[in-house]
Amino acid sequence: MKKRMPMLLMALLLFPFTTLAETVVVEGESAKSMYNADMGKTQVLSQKNKSFILRAPNGNEIISPTTMTVKAGERFYILNEEEIFIHNVYDTSDSSWVLKKQLPSNIAAITFTTAGKHSLRCAIHPAMEVNVDVLP
Ligand SMILES: [Cu+2]
């Protein structure tokens, strides 16, 4: 946590971002840089074959997970790993952020800053749904 805070602050100061009370979203090149630096340290919620795939830091994967768990302030990434399909992740429990149309190979860094429950869905593929439990 001590290591992550300066990086998060730097990201907030330097990069294009959307910050709100509960959710910090970074997209574009900044998110790609963060992802490369965080590889193997964070969870990744990939989108492939029109499904969510949850990838643990050690590389283990769960296809179409029902629930994922993060700690408040812990960053994770949402990737589009499709060849051609676009996704559009939104949070049914927090309308303050949405990824809009996420093209193949695009990456978003997501941080829920407070504990609670979120439900992520894809506006284009209604079968894609995952609950996120954010622990204190
Ligand atoms: Cu989708």
pLDDT one-digit tens code per residue, 5-62: 776 666 555 554 444 457 999 999 999 999 999 999 999 999 999 999 999 999 999 9
Tokens representing 83 are 């060849």
Rounded distance from Cα 123 to ligand 1 centre (Å): 6
Looking up tokens 């997501």, which residue turns up? 110
All residues at 6 or more sequence positions from 34 whose CB lies less than 8 Å from its CB, including other chains: 7, 11, 26, 75, 77, 109
Q: Are 72 and 102 in contact (CB under 8 A)?
A: no
Rounded distance from Cα 88 to ligand 1 centre (Å): 6
Q: Are 45 and 130 in contact (CB under 8 A)?
A: yes
Residues within 5 Å of ion ligand 1, judged at the Cβ atom: 87, 122, 124-125
Over residues 99-115, the pLDDT tens digits come to 999 999 999 999 999 99
Rounded distance from Cα 1 to ligand 1 centre (Å): 32
**φ, ψ at 74 (rounded to 5°):** -90, 125
Rounded distance from Cα 9 to ligand 1 centre (Å): 30
Query: Edge to edge, what strands does the sheet with 129-135 contain?
Result: 67-71, 129-135, 116-122, 89-91
Predicted TM-score of the model (pTM): 0.83
Closest CA to 81 of 113, 115, 107: 107
Rounded distance from Cα 11 to ligand 1 centre (Å): 27
Residue 68, CB half-sphere, CA atoms under 13 Å: how many?
A: 28
pLDDT of 20 reads: 45
